[in-house]
Structure 1
Amino acid sequence: MVLVDLPVVEEHDRKAATAFRQFLLDEGFEMAQFSVYMRLCSGKENAEKYYRHIEMHLPPGGKVHIITLTDKQFENIVRFQNNIQEPRKKKSRPVMPVLGFRPFFWLFSRAKIRFINILARN
């Protein structure tokens, strides 16, 4: 899961923020909210590949956080859509659908939850 807090006051900041968000979409991330992007990874090594890609494409200002969730941690997320709680799935491996809308996608590894706070270079 990638959380972004990017400056958008100046025109060049807005362009950089838009380019970074488009980069995340091009890399296969889905937008859960405007500043939250999620992607399924097949393991720790695959997730670390995306850490490196994101670090290479950081915009010149703002903050980017990467949170990694395990299967079990994702399974325990409680979700609401249109004020209705979505049913929790029991002991099923999360699967990303090929077509259709799903409100949450995720980036996970088998390691413990990892929180990386990357401050973009000024």
Structure 2
Amino acid sequence: MSYRYMRIIVMFDLPTLNSIDMKNYRTFRKFLVKNGFMMMQESVYSKIALNQSMANLIANKVRDNKPPKGLVQMFIITEKQFSRMEILVGEVSEEYITDDRRLIIL
């Protein structure tokens, strides 16, 4: 069976002016982490999905848990497209799985 791995990327810029805004920020960030998203850089999180239908389910879950204010952007790309990302400055984090092998020994 062939799988077409997808990557969901969520980027957000949320206000943190008062205690309610801070709570919304923390709640949204905790939601992402609890649901398997990993931080790529500050306010940019990604998660791998097995196929397009799973990616759509995850995207719907993010839509259902979006904060009331601020900017939240999300897109879905194939794992092949994600692997062609060019790192211009900095180092690649070892926390991310960057290939599509079924068994990865850490």
Which category of TM-score, normalised to the shorter sequence, fits these structures? 0.7 to 0.9
User: How far apart in 1 are the matches of 2:105 and 2:54?
Assistant: 19
Q: Which amino acid aligns with 2:43?
A: S
Q: 1:72 aligns with which of 75, 80, 83?
A: 80
Instruction: Tell me what 2:11 maps to.
Output: 3
Structure 2 alignment gaps of length 5 or more = 1-8, 93-97
Deviation at 1:74, TM superposition (A): 1.4
The share of aligned pairs that are identical, in percent, is 29
Where in structure 2 are the equivalents of 1:25-36 lying within 5 Å?
25-36=33-44
Q: RMSD value over aligned CA atoms?
A: 2.4
What is the DSSP-based 3-state SS (H/G/I as helix, E as strand, rest coil) of the residue aligned with 1:69?
strand
Instruction: Tell me what 1:94 maps to.
Output: 100
Instruction: Tell me what 2:26 maps to.
Output: 18
Name whichever structure is richer in helix by fraction. 2
Call closer, same or farther: CA 1:78–1:39 in 2, change over 3 Å. Answer: same
Where in structure 2 are the equivalents of 1:101-112 lying within 5 Å?
none
Call closer, same or farther: CA 1:81–1:63 in 2, change over 3 Å. Answer: same
User: How far apart in 2 are the matches of 1:81 and 1:95?
Assistant: 27
Instruction: Tell me what 1:54 maps to.
Output: 62
User: How far apart in 2 are the matches of 1:98 and 1:9?
Assistant: 43
Call closer, same or farther: CA 1:98–1:16 in 2, change over 3 Å. Answer: farther
Deviation at 1:68, TM superposition (A): 1.2
Structure 1 alignment gaps of length 5 or more = 87-91, 100-122
Instruction: Tell me what 1:102 maps to.
Output: none
What is the DSSP-based 3-state SS (H/G/I as helix, E as strand, rest coil) of the residue aligned with 1:28?
coil
